[in-house]
Copies of this chain bind each other. A is one copy, B any other.
Amino acid sequence: MRPVPTSIAVKLPKAAELIAERGLDQTKIEDIAEATGIPKTTLYYYFVGKEEILVFLQRDLLAEVADAVAIAVDTDGTAADRLREVMRAQLRVMAERPAVWRAFIADLGRAARLPELVEALANAYYAPVEQLLGEGGADGSLRCSEDPATTAMAIFGAATMVGLRHVLAGHDLDAERMAEQVIAFVFGGLAA
């Protein structure tokens, strides 16, 4: 993949909508070309195939998540406060870029097969969250979890599924409201 100039990059999110709608394999390169206004030949100049176009978008999305999470982690407050911020950040990104997020989830398997993306997600999300879980145990703002990696995964799963439901349903979801619900669930638990 050559470095993609912004003139191209800005047009690509249009492709995400197609891919989210139909899936990658039902999306012809020609369709992407037409939707984005980038000729097929030019697409092949930058990307080795249509997979790579999706990877570009996914990478971009993860970078955004990483930024948002990093900002949240750097907030003042207890680890619990900052974890809440992280979850809000995640759902905010989902709400802001529903098409790319849908494309991401729609091709989760592909993403999982690419070590680069797995690592990107780990760095963007799990690592900071695990860090927070550790700090929360230390500062007393969070219950100490014996397996932070699993807990981080569970948090991500809970937030992602809830977001996904809205994104798939096509509501323009109220990220803050949704975040508060997930936060209540994740912090309070179900026990009476």
Q: How far is the CB of A158 from chain B (nearest CB, A)?
A: 4
User: When the two chains form the complex, which single residue of B107, B110, B136, B140 contacts A190, counting CB atoms closer than 8 Å?
Assistant: B136
Interface size on A (CB < 8 Å)?
Answer: 53
Interface of A is mostly: helix
Contact B106 A168, beta carbon cutoff 8 Å: no
Is A113 engaged at the interface, CB distance under 8 Å to the other chain? Answer: yes
User: When the two chains form the complex, which single residue of B109, B143, B153, B165 contacts A189, counting CB atoms closer than 8 Å?
Assistant: B143
Which residues between 1 and 56 of chain A lie within 8 Å of chain B, taking CB atoms?
20, 22-25
Q: Which chain B positions have C-beta within 8 A of A185?
A: 145, 150-151, 154, 189
Is A182 engaged at the interface, CB distance under 8 Å to the other chain? Answer: yes
User: When the two chains form the complex, which single residue of B110, B113, B161, B188 contacts A160, counting CB atoms closer than 8 Å?
Assistant: B161
Q: How far is the CB of A1 from chain B (nearest CB, A)?
A: 19
Is A105 engaged at the interface, CB distance under 8 Å to the other chain? Answer: yes
User: When the two chains form the complex, which single residue of B24, B141, B156, B182 contacts A161, counting CB atoms closer than 8 Å?
Assistant: B156
Query: Quick one: given A108-B105, A110-B106, are A136 and B186 in contact (CB under 8 Å)?
Result: no
Contact B154 A161, beta carbon cutoff 8 Å: yes
Which residues between 140 and 178 of chain A lie within 8 Å of chain B, taking CB atoms?
140-143, 145-147, 149-151, 153-162, 164-165, 168, 178
Once bound together, how far apart are the Cα atoms of A33 and B23, in whole Å?
A: 24
Contact B153 A165, beta carbon cutoff 8 Å: yes
Closest to A188 in B: B189
Contact A143 B191, beta carbon cutoff 8 Å: yes
User: When the two chains form the complex, which single residue of B24, B161, B189 contacts A157, counting CB atoms closer than 8 Å?
Assistant: B161
A interface residues with partner B (beta carbon < 8 Å): 20, 22-25, 80, 83, 102-103, 105-110, 112-113, 133, 136, 140-143, 145-147, 149-151, 153-162, 164-165, 168, 178, 181-182, 185-192
